[in-house]
Amino acid sequence: MTTLTEQLKEFADNSAKRHPGAAQDIMKNAISVLEATNILENAIKTGDSFPDFTLPNAKGEYITLSNLLKEGKVVLTFYRGGWCPYCNIALKALQNALPEIKEKGASLVAITPEKPDNTLSTQDKNELDFEVLTSKNNELARSLGLVYKLPEALVSLYTKFGIDLIESQGNSANELPIAATYIIEQNGKVSYHFLAEDYKLRADPLAIIAAL
């Protein structure tokens, strides 16, 4: 069985063939610009305390981190939106790994800036059995140092691809969270982190399970 890392690379390679030339240049340049900001330096990492939060799921129920931690560790991952194919591939891989994550005594939570109506369609499409929560206007990701603004050229390209961030998030900020996954211990401390400026890279479930 192929790993998530292998699946993502295969999709990225095929995407580069489908969208050659200027489109590739715009997407690569956006990653380079983000890397130059040193965003990872200020992001929450292993050894830091993760802030408590209360966020809604698509059913309108509010989920609080401290309540989840009473039951065990929490694997928490951020994704950009259901419009992002890399996010959907990663969410499906996490769903497949959910039994092993639970065996380790942990729960799994995904967080997105998408509106709850959109998270519901993402959850249904990927048949997810874990909590998917909305952080309006990227507020939680922003508090963790994970948020960046998309360059104008990339926004225009996404529009050509049919990606409407205003519809997805309900705001016109053109901001997204970087790829980020954490394991949070019951004392609220981060014991594992994965951070990447390149949206094509994600924490592999094999690494997450090994870290649990």
Quote the pLDDT of residue 119.
85
- Show the domain range for 79: 4-211
In the chain (212 residues long), the average pLDDT of successive 10-residue segments reads 93 91 94 96 97 95 98 98 96 97 98 91 88 97 98 96 95 97 98 98 98 98
pLDDT of residue 125: 84
Domain of residue 53, CATH code? 3.40.30.10
Give one DSSP letter per residue of 102-168, joined into a string: HHTTEEEEEEESS-HHHHHHHHHHTT--SEEEE-GGGHHHHHTT-EEEPPHHHHHHHHHTT--HHHH
pLDDT score recorded for residue 132 = 96
Residues constituting the chain: 212
Cβ contact 125:93 at 8 Å: no
pTM of the full structure: 0.96
First and final CA of the chain: distance in angstroms?
21
At residue 122, the pLDDT reads 85
Measured on CA atoms in the order 152, 154, 156, 162, is the torsion positive or negative? negative
Structure tokens at 130: 């874990």
Number of domains in the chain: 1
